[in-house]
Each structure stands twice: as C-alpha cells, then as structure tokens.
Structure 1
Amino acid sequence: MHEWTEKKLKEGQRFIGLAASESAVYSCTSNGALRVTKFGQDGSEPSSSVTSLPMRLCEWRLSPDSRTFAYGGEEVELSLWDTENAFPENTAAAQPLSTDSKKRRRGDQLLPGELWRAKNVPNDHLSLRHPVYNTALTYLQASSSHAHQHLLVGTANGSVRRYDTRAARRPVSDWKGIGKVGGIGTVEKGIYEYEVFVADRGSTLSALDLRNGRVIYTYKGISGAVTSVAPASSLMASASQDRYIRLHSTFGPPAEAGQQQEQKGDVLEKTYMKVVPTVVVWDGAVGAEGLEAEREENEAEDEVWDGMQAAESDSEDEGNGTRRKEKKLRTT
C-alpha cells in the first residue's frame, strides 16, 4: 500500500478529481495542482510529477482510456488536454501551436498540452456576458481520436451543455433549467444509449435523454444533495449528503425521442452511513451467480406471463363456446 500527502493543498481547498490507470494515479485539487503518481516496479517507491492548471477548478475528469483529461470551473472554460503532454517533462513532445495573433486573440491561445478549449455562449438579449461557471462534467463516448471528444457539462445556473470538440467551441446543445436548486452538482453517463443522470445541489436526481435534453423521470424520496452516482447494468448507486447510499432501478430512454416513458426508475434500497459519503463507484465486476439469478428470474417471469396469456385464451374460447350454445338454444 502507498500513501502520500498533497503538499500544495491549502486551507479551504479540496480534491476535485481522482482517477487511476493501470500504471498511475492522478489527483487534482481546486487550486489547479494536478499530480500523477506512477507505481514503482519490484516494490520500489512511486514517483510523482506535478503540473499547474488554472485555479478555481470545480471538476476534473480523466478519459476512460487515460489519454486525455478535461476540467472546468469558476471563470474557467471547459478544456481538453493530452495527458502525456500536460506534464513539464513531456511538453517538448507536444505539437507546436499556432501563434498567429491575427487569427487568435490572446486569451484563446492554447497552452502546451492543451488540445481544445470551449468558448463562452453568446451574450444575452441585453448584450451582457454570461458568467462562466462549470460545476460538473463527464465524457459521453469513446473516440478513436483523442483530440475528438463528446463532453457533457453542468453549470451553476442549472444548464446542461453538450460539446463536440470536432464540431465547435460552443456547445452543440444547451438545455436550460435542468438544475432547480443551486445549479448542477453531478452529471454521469448511463449504461443505456442516450441516457445520462443529472443531479442538482438540492435533492433532485433525474435521468435525461441526450437526444433532446428532456427529463425522462426523476427519483423520489431523496432528501439530500446527490454528490456522486455510479451506473451499473440495470442498476445505479448514488451517494448523497443526507448520509445515505441508495440503490436505484434504471430504464433506458424510449426508442424514439419525445415518446412517453412508461417505466420509471425508483429507489430500491438505501443504507445509512455514519459519515457523509462523497463518492460512490462501480468496480465493473458482475458476479456469475448474480447474472445466473437474474436470467432465471427473467425466465420465470416470462413463463408466468405466457401462462397468463394462455389462460386468457382458454377462458375466451370457453366463453365463446358457451355463447354459441346459448344462441343455439334461443333459436330452437
């Protein structure tokens, strides 16, 4: 076991990102200290390297393949980076950046290792600038090109924005009013296609359809702000500030966008914790016994429904036969 302390973490600051790959652990603090700790071989001590990102960060995420990471924060636009070239010892290997001041304004110049940076949404109807305040983000889908990513961002004003780094610097979708209290606290991609889970800083946790930004259903019975969700197969776990870890059922979006959702997720179980849980994760493991039990349960349920349909058919045939006999008696 290895343990270390983040020396650059000052009072009032916190960790806003933690991720692990096969050979390293990444941690990021709200003041922009990004550290990679690489595991030593043959029991040797791990080695660390630190790079400085912008301050006032609210969220940092490592991509599923660990090739890129993204971050955003208060007056910090969503930014996509090459993981390897983000650290000082690797910046020389980064691709040269354009320095043509006529094509790029000073504030838009990419930093060494930075692949892409979002641009603020257009001014409002009074020509006033919208404050930049990104509070949550997640990767939506894997891409063969590490410079091309689909990202989802939640903001302090309750908006959920979808970005395609190949299409534009501004969001390709901007859904307003999703977060009702305190802005968006958590966004997480679901297991089903077009499914994403969004929680505000109140007590609302909802499933969203990525095709149109429509809320599919909202979970009931949550009394604290949800700080983390972990989708897994047809279930999802959540951690909230009311000290509960909850297990939820999930149902994918309708086949066509805009259709009415018949099945809605619910809270199945909850466990009270002695401390306030902040993060919950799924380790990706699915026990063979659990899969077999689920299969048997589904088969048993199908047999019950088949039996009910057969019984209804027999009952209908019997009823038709009785009515035919009654009709024959009346005619004779």
Structure 2
Amino acid sequence: MSRFLLGDDLGNIKTLRYISTHKEEVKTRVTTVYKHDSSHEPASVQQLASSSQTNGLKALAAAFSNGSCFISTVNEDDVLEVLSEWKEPRSGGSKFVGIALTEDSVFTCTSNGMLRKSAFTAGQQKDVFKIPESHCGTLPSRLLDWRLSEDTQTFAYGGDEVDLSVWNTELAFESRSSPALTSGPIKKRKRNDDLFPGEIWRARNIPNDHLNLRHPIRITALSYLSSSAVSNNLVAGTQFGDLRRYDTRAARRPVSNWTAIAKVGGIKSMQKGLADHELFIADGGSSLYAIDLRTGKILYGYKGLSGAVTSIAPSPMIMASTALDRYVRVHSLVSPPPVAGSHQERKGGVLEKAYVTSIPTVIIWDKTVNKTPSEEYSAQDDDDVWNNMENIS
C-alpha cells in the first residue's frame, strides 16, 4: 500500500504504513525516521515534499520553524539519510508556507515573500548529492499558501490581503524589483492592477456586497487543478469558508464562487484528489469534507474526528490526515458520481487511526504505489493450494 511521511511539532519525521490483508486484519505502523536534536533550537516541521530521482532514490525535503531546511533520501526500509542542509534567514516571525521538490531543485517560500530555488545534483555517492547554488526571488508579504504547478512552469500564492496570483517560475528569479516593498498603500487604485515582473496573472476581488462594501481578501489555502502553457485552473479557499474556482484564461474573477462551505474557522487545509472533480478540504473545527468541483457541493464528510485537521494527503487507494488531537488517520475514498449533482450512495470513512505522542503538523504521500496486500496474498494463497495438493501417480 501507500507510504506517507509526516512531521510533528517537535521536529521529528515519521513514516506511516497502512496494511490490509485478505483476512480483514488491519495494521497501521508508524516509524520515526528522523529525530530532532533537543539540545538545539526547538523547531517544528512546517513543510514536507518528496520526489523520485532518476537514480532510483526517493528524495525528501523538509522545512522547519527555525528556518532550517534539509534534503534527504528515504529508502524502502524507512531509513532516512540527511544529505544537505541550509538555513533561511528569518524576520518578523515568518514561516514556511510552501515547499516543492523536483529532480534537480528545491523550492521554498516563506510568509514574508522570500522565494528560494536551491539547485542540487543527485548521484550515488553522498558527496555528489549537494546544493551548489541557490537563487532568490521576492514576493509580496503576508502569504498564507504557495504552490508549484506539476509542470513547474508556474507557481501561485495567496494570503492576507494578497489575492490569488500566478507567476512564471523562471522569470520570478530574474526579476529585480521588490514586490514586498511596493505592496503598501497605493495612491491610484488603477496601479493595483499592474503586474510585477514575472507575474502573468492576478485575480480580481469579487464584487462588493449589497451595501457596496469591499470584501476582505483572505486566501488561506489553494491548489492547482490543471496547468498548461495558455491556461491555469486553480481553486482557492478563504478564511470565511468560501471556495472559489479560477480559470486564468476565462476571467480574473472566479468562474465559480461557492460560499460558506466551511462552517468553523474557514478553510485551513486543501488538497486535490486523484479522482476527477474531487477535492478535499478541512476547516478550523474538526470537519473534513470531500467536494465535487463541478457543483461545489459536499459529497460526504468524515465522522469521528475530535481535533482540527492540520494536513491532508490523498493517494490512489486511501487518504491520510493529521489532526491536533495527536491522531493520524487513514480514510477510505469514494469517487464522485459520474453525473454531477446525482446522489452519492457510498461515503468515505475512517479506516484506522494511530496515536502519536506529539502533535502532527504536516503529512504527504511519497508518490510510490506498491502492490496491494490483497494481490500479494491472493498470489500466495494460489501457491499454497498447489503445494498442498496430493500427488497421484
């Protein structure tokens, strides 16, 4: 089954494996693969990202609250080896709001708008896997989420009074202007529509309310739905619980604006599912929902959660989540109905949960798909049948 990697508030990194056998025996195994040195500055894991390298290694990048980052490998035996470390200067209580890992680069973004691309070379030897150079870019401050597209050609961000914006990844590091310094009060309102160098699209706020009052901009979570050279489809969640879908080729305002999806504390976490039209969101309470992107309606909610969900990690077979109640949960998945708006007969549920002694902060799927245990057991059972048959001469 799938393997998940999670970090906690003490700076430790663990793996989660969920095993289901043909005998309906379920086993959840949590293994600590990295332990933060308690004698050093306290640090919690804020962001994780993984990728597969051309040499067959599974790479893992981690960003911590004290500004430190590292890149490592995690083998199939759940052994983590740190290969290179660096530190991002902190200022004004900034934190990491995004991280992405490709075959040759690590991207990190902080809430104060510091964007960094650290290029590395991967090889079989530890001394070959290093970070020879890094490039920095400057984005607006007060960011709350940052995402890199799957083709790495663009990235998007949003935050507190920072509306959804899409940038060209290559041009962002060539820009010499400082958006963080120019994002203050503007005399003429028209200038607010001017794009920064490297910025290719910026959303426009929704129309004023019935009292002609401006809606505050609070983008708390976002996700790419698809990306291409001419268009990017994204979805953004707000502090007010609204879910907005954007098509950069169609308009600057959202093509769909579904209000009051999250009831408590707004949308805190969001991940696109692997099935078509599937999205998962979590609010500031203890609710975790599956959303149909065609209608914006809630397909089903997961019951039995006693703490606010901090992170979501869908995989092809199951989904894992972490919560403030110190539980890591494994959820079943049910694809959206073929016809939009039709009745959802089956609903997802909590398959298993594992208690961890510290508060888990982030969880990711490491993008590996192993043979399902049912397939392994079925093949083994077939062998046992043939081996136990009586020979007749």
Cα distance in 1, alignment partners of residues 294 and 374 from structure 2? 30
Give the drift of 1:141: 2.0
- Show the counterpart of 2:310: 227
Q: Decide which structure has greater helix share.
A: 1
Aligned mate of 1:13, from 70, 74, 94 = 94
Equivalent pairs: percent with the same residue?
53
- Show the counterpart of 2:341: 258
- Show the counterpart of 1:128: 213
Secondary structure in structure 2 of the residue aligned to 1:278: strand
- Show the counterpart of 2:63: none
Cα distance in 2, alignment partners of residues 174 and 14 from structure 1? 29
- Show the counterpart of 1:61: 147
Cα distance in 2, alignment partners of residues 216 and 289 from structure 1? 26
Q: Is the 8 A contact 2:84 2:130 kept in 1?
A: no
Correspondence list, 1:294-313, <5 A: none
- What code does the residue aligned with 1:82 have? N
Secondary structure in structure 1 of the residue aligned to 2:361: coil
Aligned mate of 1:118, from 195, 203, 208 = 203
- Show the counterpart of 1:105: 190
TM-score by length of 2: 0.68
Q: C-alpha offsets along residues 177-202 of structure 1, whole Å, 9 cap, x if unaligned? A: 11111110111111111110011111
- Show the counterpart of 1:79: 165
Cα distance in 2, alignment partners of residues 110 and 175 from structure 1? 27
Q: Decide which structure has greater strand share.
A: 2
> How has the CA–CA distance of structure 1 residues 87 and 233 changed in structure 2, closer, same or farther, with 3 Å as cutoff?
same
Q: Is the 8 A contact 2:84 2:129 kept in 1?
A: no
> How has the CA–CA distance of structure 1 residues 294 and 66 changed in structure 2, closer, same or farther, with 3 Å as cutoff?
farther
- Show the counterpart of 1:34: 115
Give the drift of 1:287: 1.1
Stretches of structure 1 lacking an aligned partner (at least 5 in a row): 93-103, 297-332
- What code does the residue aligned with 1:140 have? L
Give the paired residue count.
281
- 1:139 paired with 2:220, answer no
> How has the CA–CA distance of structure 1 residues 279 and 236 changed in structure 2, closer, same or farther, with 3 Å as cutoff?
same
Give the drift of 1:283: 1.3
Give the drift of 1:82: 0.6
TM-score by length of 1: 0.81
Q: Is the 8 A contact 2:322 2:329 kept in 1?
A: yes
Q: C-alpha offsets along residues 213-270 of structure 1, whole Å, 9 cap, x if unaligned? A: 1100000111111121111113111111211111000101112111111100000011
- What code does the residue aligned with 2:202 have? R
Stretches of structure 2 lacking an aligned partner (at least 5 in a row): 1-82, 123-127, 178-188, 380-393
Aligned mate of 1:156, from 221, 227, 239 = 239
Cα distance in 1, alignment partners of residues 93 and 255 from structure 2? 35
CA RMSD of aligned residues (A): 1.9
Secondary structure in structure 2 of the residue aligned to 1:46: strand
- What code does the residue aligned with 2:320 have? A
